Structure formats: C-alpha cells, structure tokens
C-alpha cells in the first residue's frame, strides 16, 4: 500500500467527516451481484473497522458474513480501490474495546462528524454490527 493510501486509511480522531466516508462493494448473499454502498469507517489500535451503529442487520453486514471479500473504495482526496476481507467482531470483550474507542471519537465535541445526540456505548455494544477490515493489497 503506498504512503498516501496508508495515510488515508489510518485516520485519526481529527479526521474530517469527509475523510471518514468510503464506499464498499460486497457480494449480494442471494443474488451474487456486486452491491456498493457508502459507509463510515474507523481506525482503532492500528486496525480498520466498519460499524452499523444500531441499525438492525444491515445488508452490507449480512453480505460480508456470507462472503467476506470486499472492495474498500477511498474516494475523498486519495482515490483507490483496495481489495480486502472482513471479519465479524463478535467477542464481547473485543467489541467493547473497539466500540469504546469509536464511541469516544463520535462523542467528542470537536469531532467534525459529531452527532447531535451522544452515542450510547452500551447500545452499540449490544446492537451494532462490527467488522474488522484486512487489506490484501
């Protein structure tokens, strides 16, 4: 992975909302067709994650459980299509550690992506879908 792409993926809490948005392409679990969506990504402890918030069973998550291969499309500033795989994070201790960092980032007032309502950690630990992304390139 070249340095510009690496910097775009290794965002910090100071990253703008725009820098946190990517597209991902998954494979439809029933159709087998490519499905592309826009989503926020997070960088915690040197790893990259996608998270649903508290949306129940988002299609992208169900697709990645069925077929973990995806394309991670950087589209703001640096443009790149990165081959990757996804691993659902289901262990509660691991989820809590990762989501604690994500929620703290989302709840900081200086965060350009700050939400109007504080994000509830317990709700996210209980209800969110979380995957770790591993880049193959």
pLDDT at 87: 98
Nearest 5°: CA angle at 119, between 100 and 25? 80
How confident is the model at residue 13, as a pLDDT? Answer: 80
Give the pLDDT confidence score for residue 25 in this predicted structure: 98
Say which DSSP state 108 is in: -
Q: Is 79 exposed, middle or buried (0-12, 13-18, 19+ CB in 10 A)?
A: exposed
CB neighbour list of residue 74: distance below 8 Å, 6 or more residues apart:
5, 8, 9, 22, 80, 81, 82
Look up the pTM and report it. 0.89
CA gap 133, 72 in Å, rounded: 9
- Note down pLDDT in tens along the chain; length 137 residues: 889 999 999 988 888 888 889 999 999 999 999 999 999 999 999 999 999 877 777 899 999 999 999 999 999 889 999 999 999 999 999 999 999 999 888 877 665 554 556 778 898 899 899 999 999 97
50, 63 contact by CB (below 8 A): no
Beta bridge partners of 24: 37, 72
């Amino acid at each position: 992975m070249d340095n510009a792409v690496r910097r775009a993926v290794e965002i910090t809490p100071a990253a703008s909302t725009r820098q946190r948005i990517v597209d991902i392409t998954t494979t439809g679990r029933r159709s087998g067709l490519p499905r592309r969506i826009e989503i926020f990504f997070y960088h915690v402890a040197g790893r990259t994650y996608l998270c649903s918030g508290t949306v129940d069973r988002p299609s992208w998550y169900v697709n990645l459980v069925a077929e973990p291969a995806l394309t991670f499309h950087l589209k703001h500033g640096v443009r790149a299509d990165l081959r990757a795989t996804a691993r659902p994070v289901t262990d509660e201790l691991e989820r809590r550690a990762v989501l604690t960092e994500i929620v703290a980032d989302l709840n900081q007032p200086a965060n350009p992506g700050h939400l109007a309502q504080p994000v509830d950690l317990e709700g996210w630990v209980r209800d969110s879908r979380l995957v770790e992304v591993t880049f193959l390139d």
